Chains A and B, each alone.
Chain A
Amino acid sequence: MSKGEINIQSPLDSKTVSMLKAGDKVLLSGIVYTARDAAHKRLIEAMDRGESLPFDLKGQTIYYVGPSPAPPGHIIGSAGPTTSGRMDSFTPRLLAAGLKVMIGKGSRSSEVKEAIKTYSCVYLAAIGGAGALLSKAIRKAEVIAYEDLGTEAILRLEVENFPAIVINDIYGGDLYQEGKEKYRTKH
């Protein structure tokens, strides 16, 4: 924990993922797709029908975020992570289909943690509630699917040095568990 920051570029491969360990701080640059509950539901329904998805999941990053509208002169509004656990029931299928990185906040189910190991993926957290600050790392944003969902539409973001921290790695590491145990005191 608490070494320097690791720069990673998205999309990425299993080899890059294998270098990341719970507690590592990363600065992520490249392409990131946004998706929350409603978009996840539609992605899974499209997979059930055998349709192609709005973007190829292979090696990609999904950021669980529903940004606020961009005020004039801004690329995007406030854009911090939403609670990842709501996506848990959809996640293992997306990881099996090639998704590599998830960015959100809050702990994941044991099924998701297993799938992270099985398919060599990584779960990152960004600071919940720091949406104004995090929006500064977003360089470009365009809607690519499900525009009718409003803030829940899928956006293709270009990010530069987006700050996040590794929560769950392919080795079974879990920063939420480790952090809590380290600082827990007898009351």
Chain B
Amino acid sequence: MKSINLRLIRSTVASLCQEANYNLGEDVIILLKKALRKETSPQGKEVLSQLIKNAAIAGQEKLPLCQDCGTVLIFVELGQDVHIVGGNLIEGLNDGIREGYRQGHLRMSMVAQPFTSRINTGDNTPAVVHTKIVPGDSLSITLLPKGAGSENMSRLAMLKPAQGRQGIVDFVIEAVEQAGSNPCPPIIVGVGIGGTADKAMVMAKEALLRKTGTNHHDKEVAQLENEILSGINALGIGPAGLGGRTTALAVHAEVFPCHIASLPVAVALQCHSARHKNATL
């Protein structure tokens, strides 16, 4: 049994908030540079080079990569041999966000009541927290500040099993085509296949946490990812939607068994400001 103090969790979350918002992951930067070399559209090339420049400015000046500092999604993997002391875990996570967003001059984008008053909570809480209990005695915290431009383009389809693999390919490509320039391409596409409606959507989000551009370990899933990616990049939407070959940098899919009558497919789009940072305590 290992004890972890809530104070440590709070300060860890606060620094992850800032790190994620200022520093674009090296995995994304490498893919942007690769796309810049391959892009044939002059306008697309210009957008890609400005995005690389934007990431450099944000990192150097500690300015958010994007003014939309997102809804904070937190993926917690809590070892079953961990004992959290000093308070309530969820409150500790939210306190960390409060501290990180205020001190980091990050934008507060959460409203308390979604359909009438829509008053800003003023501290970017609450986070959306997904918790998994896992073996072991460590606590892994992954932060994904998710901008609304891409989040609003999320899609879910409950396909008929007969639609199969091709149904999945067509649905994901259609979701990206309909999103067009809205989710800030080049995007990263998270796909959740199987489970139930809720499970599929969580998997689509979890897929975004993978090192960008890494295929699924299962060969069949990896082939599906590659096929969807080339289909998306044939759409012509391009960087910032101004036309070009680079509409997506990567497609990541996760799969789970499902009911004999179901084939759920969820699509989570992530803008190029693919900000996620992890800490393990």
A residues near B (Cβ < 8 Å) are 1-2, 23, 38, 65-71, 74, 77-80, 82-83, 85, 105-107, 125, 127-133, 135-136, 149-152, 165, 175-176, 178-187
Segment of B9-17, B54-62, B90-98 in the binding face: B54-62
Q: Which secondary structure characterizes the binding site on chain B?
A: loop
B63 part of interface (Cβ distance < 8 Å): yes
Given contacts A107-B180, A135-B63, contact A129 B152 (CB under 8 A): no
- A183 near B182 with CB under 8 A, answer no
B77 part of interface (Cβ distance < 8 Å): no
Given contacts A128-B240, A132-B61, A187-B231, contact A150 B120 (CB under 8 A): yes
Given contacts A128-B240, A133-B50, A176-B181, contact A184 B105 (CB under 8 A): no
Could you show 6 A-B contacts with beta carbons less than 8 Å apart?
A74-B63, A77-B67, A82-B149, A151-B109, A152-B120, A179-B43
Segment of B127-135, B155-163, B241-249, B254-262 in the binding face: B241-249
B205 part of interface (Cβ distance < 8 Å): no
Q: How near does chain A come to B172, taking the closest CB pair, in angstroms?
A: 13
Given contacts A67-B67, A69-B105, contact A131 B149 (CB under 8 A): no
Considering the chains assembled together, what is the distance between the CA atoms of A68 and B4 in angstroms? 33
Q: How near does chain B come to A11, taking the closest CB pair, in angstroms?
A: 24
Considering the chains assembled together, what is the distance between the CA atoms of A38 and B68 in angstroms? 16
- Please give, as numbers and ranges, the residues of chain A lying within 8 Å of B68 by CB-CB distance: 66, 80, 82, 131
- Please give, as numbers and ranges, the residues of chain A lying within 8 Å of B181 by CB-CB distance: 105-107, 125, 128, 176
- A132 near B65 with CB under 8 A, answer yes
- Please give, as numbers and ranges, the residues of chain A lying within 8 Å of B40 by CB-CB distance: 183
Residue of B nearest to A67 (CB): B67
Which residues B37-55 have CB closer than 8 A to chain A?
Answer: 40-44, 47, 50-51, 53-55
Q: How many A-B residue pairs have CB under 8 A?
A: 176
B31 part of interface (Cβ distance < 8 Å): no
B184 part of interface (Cβ distance < 8 Å): yes
Given contacts A67-B107, A107-B181, A179-B236, contact A129 B244 (CB under 8 A): no
- Please give, as numbers and ranges, the residues of chain A lying within 8 Å of B67 by CB-CB distance: 65-68, 77-80, 82, 131, 151
Given contacts A150-B108, A176-B181, contact A187 B234 (CB under 8 A): yes
- B240 near A183 with CB under 8 A, answer no
Considering the chains assembled together, what is the distance between the CA atoms of A80 and B63 in angstroms? 12
B238 part of interface (Cβ distance < 8 Å): yes
B residues near A (Cβ < 8 Å) are 40-44, 47, 50-51, 53-55, 57-58, 61-69, 105-109, 118, 120, 122, 147-149, 152, 180-182, 184, 230-231, 234-238, 240-245, 271-273
Q: A71-B63, A132-B64, A179-B236 are in contact. List 7 more A-B contacts (CB 8 A).
A: A78-B67, A83-B148, A127-B50, A128-B240, A132-B58, A132-B66, A175-B242
- A78 near B184 with CB under 8 A, answer no
Q: How near does chain B come to A148, taking the closest CB pair, in angstroms?
A: 9
- A185 near B241 with CB under 8 A, answer no
- Please give, as numbers and ranges, the residues of chain A lying within 8 Å of B50 by CB-CB distance: 127, 130, 133
Partner of A180, one of B152, B243, B272: B243
Partner of A176, one of B106, B109, B241: B241
Given contacts A2-B42, A129-B271, contact A183 B236 (CB under 8 A): yes
